[in-house]
Structure 1
Amino acid sequence: MTSNVSSPVIPDPIQAGLAAGWNVIDASTLTADRTFDADVAIVGTGAGGGVTAEILTLAGLKVVLIEEGPLKSSRDFKMREADAYPTLYQESAARKTKDKAINILQGRSVGGSTTVNWTSSFRTPPATLAYWQKTFGLHAYSAEALAPWFAMMERRLHIGTWTAPPNENNDLLRRGAVQLGIPVGAILRNVKGCWNLGYCGMGCPTNAKQSMLVTTIPSALSHGATLLARTRADRLQFSGDKVSGLSCVAMDASGLAATGRTIQVRAKHYVVAGGAINSPALLMRSKAPDPNGLLGKRTFLHPTLISAALHDHQVDGFAGAPQTIYSDHFLETQPIDGPIGYKLEAPPLHPLLFASTMSGFGKQHAAMMKEFARTHALLALLRDGFHTDSPGGSIALRNDGSPVLDYPISDFVWDGVRRAMLSMAEIQFAAGARTVYPVHEQAEGYSSWSSARKAIQDLAYTPLKTRVASAHVMGGCIMSDDRKLGIVSSEGRYHNVANLSVHDGSLFPTSIGANPQLSIYGITAKLASGLATELTGKPASPLPTL
């Protein structure tokens, strides 16, 4: 029997743009070296690079975008982890700190991490901004001063309230917290026409997620920008107090090896927006001026802990919008420069990521995987960087020039880890969990809050024994007009270099205590608009409203 119901046609702005003649070069296909000239060269196409590209092209500037990863679109997003992680993430979603103790999830394709993030959108917390003003002299970064920029990007990217009911994974966080009198909130999402599938981390197959891939990048390309995909920015070349060129290498189709072809980009101005870790690394390889030894220092994660819980009913944490409920209770009740606070969220659960994150092995691990559909998970994101005992980490270069993050965890942070594990377990039992599994190599499954509380208090919190991850990387090119405190000014301009800017999360002097994409959007919009005015002598054009 043939159905008369046709499948919906999903418009693909990438394929439509390519057919219309966008200037897109896949460097893996080059048969000769190339040189490109532009008004502005932008390294990176994520939250910072994407916003900057649209604002500058709308101002009439000739822009070249350099992206290490491939250009993919919704037709390539098949909701399969085995396809998504090697293609869309840094180091196949297995990037780790120097000691292998922290797993770091970062995007690596056109759109950067915005292509694969979980859509959670928060403005920079006022307490964080107040700390930046007080400690780093960022007086223009008050909540009131940034509010118009956040509002502009919320309109541009359709960031708003998610009206569908939370999936069971998120609702368990809500129910458990409410049972304990812990306040919760709803997470804003950057989506339009979302199908509520739950596979945001593998690229949106319906183009509902308003990532840079389907918003600012197509806009920039439609206004004449050039995109160089599978192109690794290798070194900036300096001449006096200016950048005179950018040397790039062409990557093969796998993204793992150089083809031998080189690309030179010559521009009047250069914007580094490769994300924390890659942006400092590019500047370090380039031997950018760093008189106070600040480059790559104060690189921050939100060190993230996981607690799993087994229920008697189906949770299906893979289905439905991935993150819609949160609690800032353990941030707001903690002085920002006191014992480390943490944000609670519920992550999506997918088999590969779940299996590689959970502790145990053999029969124990197999038994956990059999209960996958009835498993709930919580995350605690620690707000690092506001105390002398939480200085973050530092970027170094390996022999091949690739970056690695050294991120020691102090006793101060481990204290927060213990408290976060206790908070998550208590909430999970309050939500009706049958068994709670703190994700720690020495932990077991605990069938009561009293037994879990004692065990969690007694666990040894050390690297590798405690599973720590992070999808948020900040700092390494921190901003301050005081050159002893920062290497980039409050206007995003690199100190001591006349034509170089940094526009991404590497600017942040601390972690922010919230999912960072909207912070990067709003702050970059401010910086890019100022840069457009400086380069053209005219006010920046307003962004289109979706």
Structure 2
Amino acid sequence: MMNDPFREGLAAGWRHIDASTLDGPLDVEADVVIVGSGAGGGVTAEILTNTGLKVIIVEEGPLRTSSDFHMRESDAYPALYQESAARKTADKAINILQGRCVGGSTTVNWTSSFRTPPATLHWWQTAHGLRSLTVEALAPWFYAMEMRLHIGTWPVAPNANNSLLAAGAAKLGIPTHPMRRNVKRCWDLGYCGMGCPTNAKQSMLLTTLPVALSKGATLYSRLRAERLVFAGRRVDYLEAQALAADGLHPGAARIKLRARHVVLAGGAINSPALLLRSKAPDPAGLTGTRTFLHPTVISSALFDAPVRAHAGAPQSVYSDHFLDDLPIDGPLGYKLEVPPLHPVLFATTLQGWGESHRRLMEQFDRCQTVLALLRDGFHPDSRGGRVRLRDDGSPLLDYPLNDPIWDGVRRALITMAEIQFAAGARWVTPVHETAPGWSNWRDAKAGLAALPLAPLVCRMVSAHVMGGCAMADSPERGLTDDSGRHFHVDNLSIHDGSVFPTSIGANPQLSIYGLVARNASLLAASLTGRPKPAIL
């Protein structure tokens, strides 16, 4: 059996409190309270504890470690994801995959790692006034996190699922590249989305959180941050509710957490929602607005030979050709990647029902898919979505799908089908409720050009949520400055992807790591009165 470093640390005295076991109210204090334990929260916790600050980390989800990861979807989705991996936009047109566990989405993502594209940073500098966020200024922070989290080009040959994207694209003259992944001694199993059982994925669960806990941080799991209570321009305390062991119903304890500074790192959707529940100061009414996804569409193909898309590194080949070939503020470009296929994920995403659904499931091992991540937030009509609250205070994302998005969807579906036929597919269909599927490229091209596109008819997913607490150069245009400090609350920072003013056109985890490493270092210097720490 593999060692479980996290459990070994707990046995050695790390401070972890499962709030579901508490039987009464608590009032606790620290230098800094961090809400969320994913990419932003984990990096912040490590950097702040390295400077001697007393830190408390609040996580709504449970603590699950490598000993709990058994590569079973039935275990993973309810335990490790928001809303059991069924979080959706308000109209239910887009399914959103987000982590809800210690380590957040870094525990369950597919490890793809990209620096923020230069074109995106240039747009932020010119359109949003973020002049200090240049490629050159951020490069040392990205490099530091790449070294810290063992991010590098995946050296192993891609599995068949990814190889078919590379082969089809090569026949059409479309460039592809090997993926960069944050793994170390990876066993190439392919079950990254269910938690890594071999401790290969360099998630926050294995890297930054253990360092923070070994240096005295306290981790609360199954503790929901309900609202911030303000005194003038400062957060007086965070009010949190313990959850029961099921992670859904209220537990017995309510906790007040007081700190010199509060950092929100719950991710886009959750961080804006906490501010909305708290009625945080926001004169311009920007909280939760311009929340962006990478709206993602999927093309499915059947091959004569087995593909076994569940086995092997989940994403190891990509193409940016259809991003690089378009002006950033023009028609929506898209990044091509390959998702892994596992039976539950496949069955719940696949279109159709009854006999047609059964026939496709029977050919599961011969199915290959390509996905297209649409870069939203740059086109003049790209307004993104808006986070609002349900009656019970839980968050809901409205995300209207407009003409620029549907134009990008159609172009992406045509591109993916052409690549799959070039790779030798015998049948291709978009994941779409009325598409009949086609057995040759000529018919597919004509059929896709005429295919009706509408919410709930064309299936759409996303694992990347950005914005809602956007950075800008002034409080009239954003909620935080470029260091993540809230414009209207003196002791509040936001360290997650919600500060991005647009989507980024790439898987966002490394963008969060690099920006947060910079901003957490600035915060540490401010709180300790010492010079900014050297880069990791």
TM-score by length of 2: 0.99
Question: By how many angstroms is 1:543 displaced?
Answer: 6.9
- Of 439, 445, 456, the residue aligned with 2:437 is 445
Alignment correspondent of 1:6: none
Question: By how many angstroms is 1:201 displaced?
Answer: 0.1
**1:449 partner amino acid:** W
Give me the whole-angstrom Cα distance separating, in 2, the residues matched to 1:52 and 1:469. Answer: 29
Question: By how many angstroms is 1:444 displaced?
Answer: 1.4
1:58–1:541: 8 Å Cα contact kept in structure 2?
A: no
Alignment correspondent of 1:152: 144
Matched, 1:251 2:243: yes
Give me the whole-angstrom Cα distance separating, in 1, the residues matched to 2:180 and 2:404. Answer: 31
CA distances 1:103-161 after superposition (whole Å, capped 9, x unpaired): 00000000000000000000000000000000111011111110000000000000011
CA distances 1:449-500 after superposition (whole Å, capped 9, x unpaired): 0111111111111100010000000000000121111010111100111100
Matched, 1:215 2:207: yes
Alignment correspondent of 2:281: 289
Alignment correspondent of 1:185: 177
Give me the whole-angstrom Cα distance separating, in 1, the residues matched to 2:430 and 2:153. Answer: 31
Aligned-pair identity in percent equals 64
Give me the whole-angstrom Cα distance separating, in 1, the residues matched to 2:366 and 2:534. Answer: 47
SS at match of 2:469: coil
Greater mean alpha carbon deviation, residues 513-522 or residues 383-392: 383-392
Greater mean alpha carbon deviation, residues 9-18 or residues 266-275: 9-18
Give me the whole-angstrom Cα distance separating, in 2, the residues matched to 1:140 and 1:210. Answer: 29
**2:7 partner amino acid:** Q
Give me the whole-angstrom Cα distance separating, in 2, the residues matched to 1:234 and 1:184. Answer: 44
Alignment correspondent of 1:364: 356
Matched, 1:373 2:394: no
Give me the whole-angstrom Cα distance separating, in 1, the residues matched to 2:228 and 2:9. Answer: 30
SS at match of 1:227: strand
**2:509 partner amino acid:** Q
CA distances 1:217-246 after superposition (whole Å, capped 9, x unpaired): 000000000001000000000000000000
Give me the whole-angstrom Cα distance separating, in 1, the residues matched to 2:523 and 2:365. Answer: 50
**2:281 partner amino acid:** P
Give me the whole-angstrom Cα distance separating, in 1, the residues matched to 2:33 and 2:213. Answer: 14
Give me the whole-angstrom Cα distance separating, in 1, the residues matched to 2:146 and 2:345. Answer: 30
Alignment of 1:429-444 (within 5 A): 429-444=421-436
Matched, 1:311 2:311: no
Alignment correspondent of 1:27: 19
Greater mean alpha carbon deviation, residues 51-60 or residues 478-487: 478-487
Alignment correspondent of 2:338: 346
**1:265 partner amino acid:** L
Alignment of 1:9-88 (within 5 A): 9-88=1-80
- Of 132, 138, 150, the residue aligned with 2:124 is 132
Greater mean alpha carbon deviation, residues 535-544 or residues 429-438: 535-544
- Of 93, 96, 105, the residue aligned with 1:104 is 96
Matched, 1:167 2:136: no
1:238–1:244: 8 Å Cα contact kept in structure 2?
A: yes
1:55–1:543: 8 Å Cα contact kept in structure 2?
A: no
Alignment correspondent of 1:229: 221
Alignment correspondent of 2:504: 512
Give me the whole-angstrom Cα distance separating, in 1, the residues matched to 2:531 and 2:304. Answer: 59
Matched, 1:240 2:232: yes
1:122–1:188: 8 Å Cα contact kept in structure 2?
A: yes
1:88–1:116: 8 Å Cα contact kept in structure 2?
A: yes
Alignment of 1:412-427 (within 5 A): 412-427=404-419
SS at match of 2:130: coil
Aligned length: 536
Unaligned runs of 5+ in 1: 1-8
- Of 368, 383, 387, the residue aligned with 1:391 is 383
- Of 468, 471, 476, the residue aligned with 2:463 is 471
**2:100 partner amino acid:** R
Give me the whole-angstrom Cα distance separating, in 2, the residues matched to 1:101 and 1:320. Answer: 30
Give me the whole-angstrom Cα distance separating, in 1, the residues matched to 2:193 and 2:499. Answer: 25
**2:149 partner amino acid:** L
Matched, 1:301 2:296: no
**1:370 partner amino acid:** E
Give me the whole-angstrom Cα distance separating, in 2, the residues matched to 1:375 and 1:540. Answer: 51
Give me the whole-angstrom Cα distance separating, in 1, the residues matched to 2:530 and 2:363. Answer: 60
Alignment correspondent of 1:4: none
Alignment correspondent of 2:529: 537
**1:429 partner amino acid:** F
**2:426 partner amino acid:** R
**1:304 partner amino acid:** T
Question: By how many angstroms is 1:26 displaced?
Answer: 0.1
TM-score by length of 1: 0.97
1:156–1:543: 8 Å Cα contact kept in structure 2?
A: no
Give me the whole-angstrom Cα distance separating, in 2, the residues matched to 1:414 and 1:142. Answer: 31
Q: Which runs of 4+ in 1 moved over 3 A?
A: 539-544
Alignment correspondent of 2:449: 457
2:262–2:492: 8 Å Cα contact kept in structure 1?
A: yes
Matched, 1:324 2:353: no
Greater mean alpha carbon deviation, residues 257-266 or residues 534-543: 534-543
**1:418 partner amino acid:** R
Unaligned runs of 5+ in 2: none
SS at match of 1:61: coil
Give me the whole-angstrom Cα distance separating, in 1, the residues matched to 2:96 and 2:342. Answer: 17
SS at match of 1:533: helix
Question: By how many angstroms is 1:11 displaced?
Answer: 2.1
**1:106 partner amino acid:** Q
Greater mean alpha carbon deviation, residues 267-276 or residues 252-261: 252-261
SS at match of 1:55: helix
CA distances 1:297-319 after superposition (whole Å, capped 9, x unpaired): 00000000000000000100000
**1:219 partner amino acid:** V
Give me the whole-angstrom Cα distance separating, in 1, the residues matched to 2:37 and 2:178. Answer: 28
1:118–1:323: 8 Å Cα contact kept in structure 2?
A: yes
Give me the whole-angstrom Cα distance separating, in 2, the residues matched to 1:186 and 1:136. Answer: 32
Give me the whole-angstrom Cα distance separating, in 2, the residues matched to 1:17 and 1:32. Answer: 27
**2:171 partner amino acid:** Q
Matched, 1:269 2:261: yes
Question: By how many angstroms is 1:541 displaced?
Answer: 4.3
Question: By how many angstroms is 1:540 displaced?
Answer: 4.6
Give me the whole-angstrom Cα distance separating, in 1, the residues matched to 2:28 and 2:432. Answer: 50
Give me the whole-angstrom Cα distance separating, in 2, the residues matched to 1:542 and 1:221. Answer: 21
**1:320 partner amino acid:** G
